[in-house]
Chain A
Amino acid sequence: MEVKGTIFSINGPVVKVVGSDGFKMYDQVFVGSERLIGEVIGVGDKHTVVQVYENTTGLKPGEEVVSTQRAMSVILAPGIIGGIFDGIERPLKVVEKQSGAFIERGLTVDPVDTTKKWKVEILAKVGDSVSGSMIIAQTPETLQIMHKVMVPPDVSGVIEEIVPNGEYTITDSIAKVKTASGKTVDIKLMQVWPIRIPRPHNGRVNVRRPLMTGQRVIDTLFPLAKGGTAAIPGGFGTGKTMTQHQLAKWSDADIIIYIGCGERGNEMTQVLEEFTSLSDPKTGSSLMDRTALIANTSNMPVAAREASIYTGITLAEYYRDMGYHVAIMADSTSRWAEALREISGRLEEMPAEEGFPAYLSSRLAAFYERAGYVNTLCKKEGSITVIGAVSPQGGDFSEPVTQNTKRFVRSFLALDRLLAYSRHYPAINWLSSYSEYVEELTPWYEENINEKFMGHRTRLIAILQEEANLNEIVKLIGSDVLPDDQKLVLQTARVIREGFLQQNAYHPSDTYVPISKQFLMMDIILYLNEKAREILSRSIPISQIIKTGIFEEIISIKYKVDNENLGKFDEYRALIDKACSDVIANNEVIKR
């Protein structure tokens, strides 16, 4: 039976509807004569409240609102990877064809092409008993991603019919499953899933593998875990987007879902252009072959911004269920929170801190909770890593979104305005950032990279900490009066900062650095530190070592040693030895 009502009032994206009790919470609706897409967000005794995902200009009271009688959902099917969608999964390339360079309202477009034929390989046979998320077929979605065709999570039974290998569209039925209750369900390449409900899995597994990013300050100091959560807070221009782009380009996830939530249009254009032309370091195919973009830019309707986060994570869960490691970047979760605030304000709800609704915290928790390393229903391992940018007003981390996010993430990469001003990039503050995954990941680093890895890491952090303490003194009296061993701390810390932590995203080889090289860089810095200390113990002044230029040499390793040419580190070791023995020899001459 059709459920429909009429518009009673309009206030921005919030529309109140009268005339029917049939609307259900979170149902998708069509609003007005232009059939704008909306979602039921409140069912009261007088009105049903709908948030509209498109601009409501021109709507009139009395126009019709029709329920689709289905929760706000996304289509899950091959064709998502490589695409760019708005916050409610409308493909922007198709939108462009229909409405030109500027986005019109009331467009109805299929998220993925329903006419394209996919080359499907069937993996099950008649008589097989199947249950939710079991894989019955596969099709190469891109050069890189094999799309697994799964039985929908809520279906189980016996395969009655199945098609042979061949070419099928996403709406073709490729199998019929008879369920226990005797119903026959068509299985297609396509599924539909409500965005606000997490897709089921078979239980969480502890994280134990890092998400390698090729970014030294992250992989070495504040590692991310596959299935983990991370936040990147920072004032404007501190490098949130750059960092997210770097992670999207270089991290070793199988699939990237990149959500531009309330940010710049140009940035999405840039990702699209760059990712299409860049090739994946592992496979050589285009980066878009593993990426889906969701672009709800800051000038697009605010309600769709709220939905974009859920759209993104639902796509991620779908690929996780196939057994992939998915990383999802949300830039910026603050814009999502502001969308919540705006809608909440229009509903005249009681605000909590800074006008944000009291449920901000629980919504954030629920979102990050959808990350994780899991056993999938089809008995594989898959993961979702969530990395959210946070844009605190005034760069002040005490504001509600940063504070609440901090409770639910375990890696915290704090961007620092002063570092950005002095062009120390990535401007991740090494004193206020942390990763709670270090302990869980230690075995992995020690087995796969080097058993000294974590020891070195600790040493690096200690030196940087010591530098921070010394800087307090230097500020007051200058560095000249410090004893030489403390001057050495400052020198080594400088090498760590400039030669290791600073990483140039625009440099062809520095932009991505494999973890094996990260270890060697760390190793050689500490070696230099040790040798220099030896020299100091002979009462030779540090200025003599500085004069050899060896500190600069080591700093320049990041540009001079290619990622493929790690043998060169031995030469640098020899260089250090030589510089040191020269200094010693010189001194002996002077003494004599």
Chain B
Amino acid sequence: MNIEYLGLKSVSGSLIVIEGIKDASFEEIVEIKTDEGGSRMGKIIELGGDYAVVQVYEGTRGLSKTNTVTRLTGRPMELGVSKEILGRIFDGAGRPIDGLGKIFAEKYIDVNGKPMNPVSREYPRNYIQTGISSIDGLATLIRGQKLPIFTGNGLPHDELAVQIATQAKIEGANRDNFAIVFCAMGVSGDVADYFRKKFQENGVLERVVMFLNLSSDPVGERIITPRCALTAAEYLAFEHNMHILVILTDMTSYAEALREISSSQNEIPSRKGFPGYLYSDFASIYERAGMLNTGSGSITQIPILTMPNDDITHPIPDLTGYITEGQVVLERNLYQKGIYPPVSVLPSLSRLMKDGIGEGFTREDHPDVANQLFAAYSNVQEVRSLASVIGEDELADTDKKYLEFGRAFEREFISQGRDENRDIDQTIDLAWNLLKILPREELSRIDSKILDKYYPAENTP
């Protein structure tokens, strides 16, 4: 097992080819020793009669054909875990980088994970209060859900992610069984620092596990970073019954790394140069969210991805949307109007919301109110485009009310402070105050009994 091989057949991109290899197994990890005595890691991604193609995680810079020594480890990529990982910081391949020394691993787990049996899943039902009205009210986050933030460069997605992570109130979770797994892929050191500082300020740092593959770190390693992070999350959630919130940022850098490696292997690209298996690859990450019916732990994922050119039809947001259970979309226009968080209400959706809100979860009137807000705000868009043609003065009276509602909705409901934590009652009450700007007859999505209770007829202006 410990045979070393001297020399490479070829080096190209992040790939090396080793010849004359014996007893190698598919996808096992290979240790690569460089001329200077450094050590790198790679994975066998193709295996022929006596050759192996190895993808080197740390890149091939400086590797020579003649002097490089390789050694088969006989194992897939593994992460050593124990409860000690809480509060620790690792690099993108799961090695501690906080100077606190090695983890005394209780066990080693294959980072690729195994598919969860649908029969063993527990359908996510319980809502997480994030304290953010646009999310709690309109795209409620559910424990065990994967709900990405679709954003653009320069938008405040990091602030939003921090706010969600620190305000999140998960039923059944307390200081002892709640933790955050933070996974950085190709983001700048500043961003990683920002998260760390904020977690520290909020006093949760010892409940955070960080995996950092920064923009200056090797692209190849980026592919395993989320897998390490999710392995840690699964260990905590399913072996220690903890509630884990996983923040993955930035999935766009991850996908670009995948594209780079795919093209260096001369694979046939699908859209925009991304490999045809991008969907399956994303799924192997996102599908690791969820709950099991055998334990009480949960993994809730908030992947962040910047949409190239703010284009939601770009393959990265598109294929993500096909796998995740809804999405929270941030919008540049709103942000430019000074609205934080700039959540674009109409394309944002939480698919699991319906089973986790309403009587017994949030409030009986929540589903109808949410529906009505969507309907009303979608009408606002139409009225606005009409107003831009014929002028606001020419609008019918009801339409004018809609414009007023639209403005108030954006300023008071969507917009809130970066530390403002609104509970669900505040959020729904606020919604009613805004809906009352509209004539009662306009609120057709709300059951009349609920309407009578919250918007009695005599109130009609």
- For B1, the chain A residues whose CB sits under 8 A away are none
The one of B122, B123, B270, B322 in contact with A236, judged by C-beta atoms closer than 8 angstroms, is B322
Is A295 an interface position by the 8 A CB rule?
yes
- For B183, the chain A residues whose CB sits under 8 A away are none
State the Cβ distance, B283 to closest chain A Cβ, in Å: 3
As a 0/1 sequence over residues 54 to 96 of chain A, the CB contacts with chain B under 8 angstroms (1 = contact) are: 0111111100000000000000000000001000000011011
The stretch among B55-63, B84-92, B110-118, B163-171 that forms the contact with chain A is B110-118
Interface of chain A residues 428 through 443 with chain B (CB within 8 A): none
Whether A102 contacts B396 in the complex (CB less than 8 A), given A266-B325, A269-B121, A299-B283, comes out as no
- For B347, the chain A residues whose CB sits under 8 A away are 421
Is A22 an interface position by the 8 A CB rule?
no
As a 0/1 sequence over residues 1 to 24 of chain A, the CB contacts with chain B under 8 angstroms (1 = contact) are: 000000011110000000000000
Is A475 an interface position by the 8 A CB rule?
yes
Is A316 an interface position by the 8 A CB rule?
no
Is A182 an interface position by the 8 A CB rule?
no
As a 0/1 sequence over residues 35 to 54 of chain B, the CB contacts with chain A under 8 angstroms (1 = contact) are: 00000000001111110000
Q: Are B351 and A102 in contact (CB under 8 A)?
A: no
- For A395, the chain B residues whose CB sits under 8 A away are 313, 318
State the Cβ distance, B15 to closest chain A Cβ, in Å: 13
State the Cβ distance, A117 to closest chain B Cβ, in Å: 24
The stretch among B22-30, B152-160, B189-197, B418-426 that forms the contact with chain A is B22-30
As a 0/1 sequence over residues 394 to 420 of chain A, the CB contacts with chain B under 8 angstroms (1 = contact) are: 111000000000000000000000000
Q: Are B26 and A393 in contact (CB under 8 A)?
A: no
Q: Are B116 and A102 in contact (CB under 8 A)?
A: yes
Q: Are B349 and A95 in contact (CB under 8 A)?
A: no
Interface of chain B residues 301 through 333 with chain A (CB within 8 A): 313-315, 318-319, 321-323, 325-327
Q: Are A8 and B49 in contact (CB under 8 A)?
A: yes
Secondary structure class of chain A's binding surface, majority of residues: mixed
- For A338, the chain B residues whose CB sits under 8 A away are 276-277, 279-280
Is A101 an interface position by the 8 A CB rule?
yes
Is B120 an interface position by the 8 A CB rule?
yes
Inter-chain CA distance A160–B97, complex, in Å, is 77
State the Cβ distance, A490 to closest chain B Cβ, in Å: 13
Tier of interface size on chain B = 35 or more
Q: Are A9 and B375 in contact (CB under 8 A)?
A: no
Q: Are A476 and B26 in contact (CB under 8 A)?
A: no
Inter-chain CA distance A463–B402, complex, in Å, is 27
Is A478 an interface position by the 8 A CB rule?
yes
Q: Are A102 and B113 in contact (CB under 8 A)?
A: yes
Whether A59 contacts B25 in the complex (CB less than 8 A), given A102-B117, A391-B322, comes out as yes
As a 0/1 sequence over residues 339 to 383 of chain B, the CB contacts with chain A under 8 angstroms (1 = contact) are: 000000011010110100000000000010001001100100000
Is A166 an interface position by the 8 A CB rule?
no
Q: Are B115 and A300 in contact (CB under 8 A)?
A: yes
Inter-chain CA distance A300–B283, complex, in Å, is 9
Q: Are B48 and A9 in contact (CB under 8 A)?
A: yes
Q: Are B284 and A421 in contact (CB under 8 A)?
A: no
The 8 closest A-B pairs by CB, nearest first: A298-B283, A394-B313, A236-B321, A101-B120, A268-B118, A102-B114, A299-B287, A9-B48
Can you give 12 A-B contacts (C-beta < 8 A)? Answer: A9-B49, A235-B318, A237-B326, A262-B283, A297-B283, A298-B287, A302-B280, A342-B276, A394-B271, A394-B318, A395-B313, A475-B389
Chain A residues at the B interface, C-beta cutoff of 8 Å = 8-11, 55-61, 84, 92-93, 95-96, 99-104, 235-237, 260, 262, 264-266, 268-270, 272-273, 295, 297-300, 302, 335, 338, 341-342, 345, 351, 354-355, 391, 393-396, 421-423, 474-478, 480, 498, 506, 549, 552, 555-556
Chain B residues at the A interface, C-beta cutoff of 8 Å = 23-28, 45-50, 76, 110, 112-124, 144, 238, 267-271, 276-277, 279-280, 283-284, 287-288, 290, 292, 294, 313-315, 318-319, 321-323, 325-327, 346-347, 349, 351-352, 354, 367, 371, 374-375, 378, 385-386, 389-390, 394-396, 441, 444
